[in-house]
Amino acid sequence: MNTAQAKRVLETALLCSTQPVTVREMRVLFEDALGADTLKVLLEELQLDWAERGLELVSVATGWRFQSRPELRMYLDRLNPEKPPKYTRAVMETLAIIAYRQPVTRGDMEDIRGVTINTQILKQLEDRGWVEVIGHRESVGRPGLYATTRQFLDDLGLSSLDQLPLLSSVEGQAAALATLNPTDDDSTQTSLSLDEAVEAVEAEAEAEADAPESPAHD
């Protein structure tokens, strides 16, 4: 099989899959005739091939997938006018604490936010598949340690936590995650644009700098 044929097989598999495809699965396509390094070269070539198209090939936490480009989201939303679920500021701040400080206990989160965290908030994040308990701290009561999931990274369009925007405050971190757009089973669904998120954070920071300090909230 020549390079053109291999790329055609790889492209077809990625376009037809409803979930990200791992390198291990790609090797199965070719009965291990192609190694990981060769597949990486083919994937990079496919990225270039699709550079001027409406879909882009990206690497996320659970593998590789095609997805729509962020700048085309407004057009695709017209086909699916249902608005994604809205999350309260308390939910987004809790998610931000877990994402940026993990692994953390509920007590850690409450210390950082300065308020009691409603159990329903954590359940909501667990039900969405964004956080999970990965262990227990060896202290009184052995509290659960929360961390984000690979699904969380996939929904953000990231391959690792290192790609999260570097922000110092919990409010800024929450704002960076606030435009998180839940995906469905459609592999062409667009994901979060980090550039847009950071711009929103900067705008919010400027507004807060000119406004009086607000009281604590839950």
pTM of the shown model: 0.63
213 has pLDDT over 80: no
Q: How confident is the model at residue 21 (pLDDT cuts 50, 70, 90)?
A: very high
Do 71 and 179 reside in the same domain of the chain? no
Do 107 and 196 reside in the same domain of the chain? yes
Q: How far is CA 34 from each of CA 5, 46, 50, rounded to the nearest angstrom? A: 12, 16, 22
Do 101 and 68 reside in the same domain of the chain? no
Cβ–Cβ under 8 Å, residues 160 and 61: yes
Instruction: Provide mean pLDDT across the span 186-196.
Output: 41
Kindly report the CATH number assigned to the domain that includes residue 56.
1.10.10.10
**What single-letter DSSP state applies at residue 70?**
G
Domain end among 48, 75, 102: 75
Of 86-100, 129-143, 191-205, minimum mean pLDDT range: 191-205
Task: Give residue 43's domain range.
Answer: 3-75
Give the max Cα distance, the chain. 66
Pairing verdict, β 63-68 and 131-136: unpaired
Domain end among 52, 75, 98: 75
Q: How far is CA 88 from each of CA 73, 85, 94, 121, 127, rounded to the nearest angstrom? A: 23, 10, 10, 9, 15
Cβ–Cβ under 8 Å, residues 70 and 193: yes
Give how many domains the chain has, as a whole number: 2
Instruction: Provide mean pLDDT across the span 131-152.
Output: 91
- Comparing 196 with 93, the larger pLDDT belongs to 93
